[in-house]
Amino acid sequence: MSNIINILGINISTLNKKNVLEKIEQFLNDGKQHQIVTPNPEFILNARKDEEFFYILNKADLAIPDGVGLKFASWAMGKNLYRYTGADIVKDILKIAEDKNLKVGIVNWSKGLSKSEDIKKTLNKKYPKLQFIIKETELPIGSSVSTDYFRPDILFCALGAPYQEKFIYHALTLGYSPDQERVAEKKLPSVKIAIGVGGAFDFLTNKIKRAPKLMRALALEWLWRLILEPKYRFRRIYNAIIIFPLTFIKWKFISPLIYRPNVACLLFKRTENNYKILLVKRNDDKNHWQLPQGGTDGENIIKAGDRELREELNTNKFKIIKIHKNLWKYKFGERISEYSAQVKEIVGYKGQKQSLIIAEFLGKDDDIKINFWDHSGWKWVDSENLINKVHEVRKEANKIFLEKFYASIDNKKA
């Protein structure tokens, strides 16, 4: 995809303003629903700690860069991003809606600077022919916000990241049960495009003054915001101009030289005649079954393995009985990329060195609830059939893991 650049695992559009507006027009006419996101350095740093947010940003139909730090990062990668601020996007989409007689729905945070009355008054003045509705809600967001009776074509969500992106994703996505059967309809079926806009309406209502044009041209809006709101903005600006560049430099220039510490989790349960081992199915490949696994993130093997199982399966009904350090190592080379597109770009490392935890499941199957952003399914397989059930690229490692499992069980019996 020539119009996409991957920065710290997040896919960002390289389209210019004209092409972005053409894309939005296309979205409004193709009969589908589309989510637009506006990543900035703070978004990307947060997404590295919030897997659901990370997943949603990468599932968006269009990711428009809003942050000068992303532009500098793109230059370091030999490409160029065209920054298109949230405040400008909102004005342009509102104009499109007015001209095309499209309905607009706005979900606004009740504790934000701009209240519903402020926004209503401003829109009536600046876009007199615009049809719109405003719903206020408190955080954390719930499913109570509904605009079904109004049936908007365009949805603006002003709840701040990551709440607004999560709200939109779940409003436009069908609900699923733990076994991945469809159980609910979309909450806002009329919406054609939806976008999280943060505090963009605060500029329209003049609750916050925009930076002078010269500062905007020099990409110094962050400095202007810092001057206006020093207490509130300091930490955010620090993350954007100090933490983000350092994180990017490590991801781009250092991580590709090293192997990422990783832990595979062999979770088993006993049956009358044998043992069953849990496998999960990757989201990015419908036929890719593997053991749960994840980065250690600086933790020791036991802590990392315990965290991975809790996070990926949403249960604590297990007991770790054995660990094995550094059993397997592989590169993110052609063989891995064949099965998982752009994995090296997204992860950033040369490859992974895997340790193993072996844990016994002590609960009931109903205790296992996978996260939609991690996996699309799970199942138990007989231990002797494990190698036949995992994906081709996982077989070599799992032969070693299975040997360690049998040795651990035999030793425990003895």
Query: Is residue 55 scored above 70 in pLDDT?
Result: yes
Give the three-class secondary structure for 21.
Answer: helix
Per-residue pLDDT of 192-207, as tens digits, reads: 999 999 889 998 998 8
**pLDDT category of residue 139 using cuts at 50, 70 and 90:** low
Q: Per-residue pLDDT averaged across 270-275, rounded?
A: 90
pLDDT at 341: 38
Q: Residue 285: CB partners within 8 Å, gap ≥ 6? A: 339, 340, 391
Beta partners for residue 6, in sequence order: 11
In terms of Cβ atoms closer than 10 Å to its own Cβ (0-12, 13-18, 19+), residue 220 is: middle
CA dist., res. 337 & res. 284, Å (int): 12
**pLDDT category of residue 179 using cuts at 50, 70 and 90:** very low
pTM here? Answer: 0.86
CA dist., res. 46 & res. 28, Å (int): 30
Q: Per-residue pLDDT averaged across 94-109, rounded?
A: 95
Mean pLDDT in the chain? 87
Domains and CATH numbers, the chain: 4-252 (no CATH), 259-413 (3.90.79.10)
Structure tokens at 312: 């990926």
pLDDT at 360: 97
Q: Per-residue pLDDT averaged across 35-46, rounded?
A: 95
What is the distance of C-alpha 302 from the center of its chain?
26
pLDDT at 236: 79
What is the distance of C-alpha 109 from the center of its chain?
22
Query: Is residue 316 scored above 50 in pLDDT?
Result: yes
**pLDDT category of residue 177 using cuts at 50, 70 and 90:** very low
Secondary-structure percent of the chain, ordered helix, strand, coil, rounded to 5:
45, 25, 35
**What is the phi/psi pair of residue 141, to 5°?**
-70, 150
In terms of Cβ atoms closer than 10 Å to its own Cβ (0-12, 13-18, 19+), residue 364 is: exposed
* Ranges 53-57, 132-136, 223-227, 307-311: which has the least confidence: 223-227
Q: Per-residue pLDDT averaged across 334-346, rounded?
A: 45
Query: Is residue 342 scored above 70 in pLDDT?
Result: no
The HSE-up count of residue 155 (CA atoms within 13 Å, CB side) is 32
Could you tell me if 357 and 323 are in contact, meaning their C-beta atoms sit under 8 angstroms apart? yes
